[in-house]
Amino acid sequence: MHNAHERSAPRPSEKGGASNSEAPYAYDAANRLSSVTDWDSNVIAYSYDDANRMTATTLPSGTGIVSSFSYDNADRLTGISHVKNGSTTIASVAYTLD
């Protein structure tokens, strides 16, 4: 099943015996995935830079967790940082080229 943008359309799913529903996907003006809303109305948001690289993922409200992604000039992923409530680093990873 595909939508008008030739992407895989959301798949119906059951949650707790409830009737089938779909998780809505939203896209920004540049046709990039900007958010996903699950069946409990939790929203995961995605941010991008001008080079169309994902720069952040914001987890649902209440978690306060933002994952940030950094890249080098060759568009290679160089780091990922998970921060809670804007100040507490939960985990971070740095990648280097051998």
Residues 27, 16: Cα–Cα separation, whole Å: 28
pLDDT value at residue 58: 96
Mean pLDDT of the chain: 84
3-state secondary structure of 16: coil
More confident position, 7 or 28: 28
pTM: 0.72
Whole-angstrom CA distances from 15 to 1, 39, 64, 87 are 21, 8, 25, 34
Q: Amino acid identity of 72?
A: D
In tens, the pLDDT along 50-89 reads 999 999 999 997 888 999 999 999 999 999 999 999 899 9
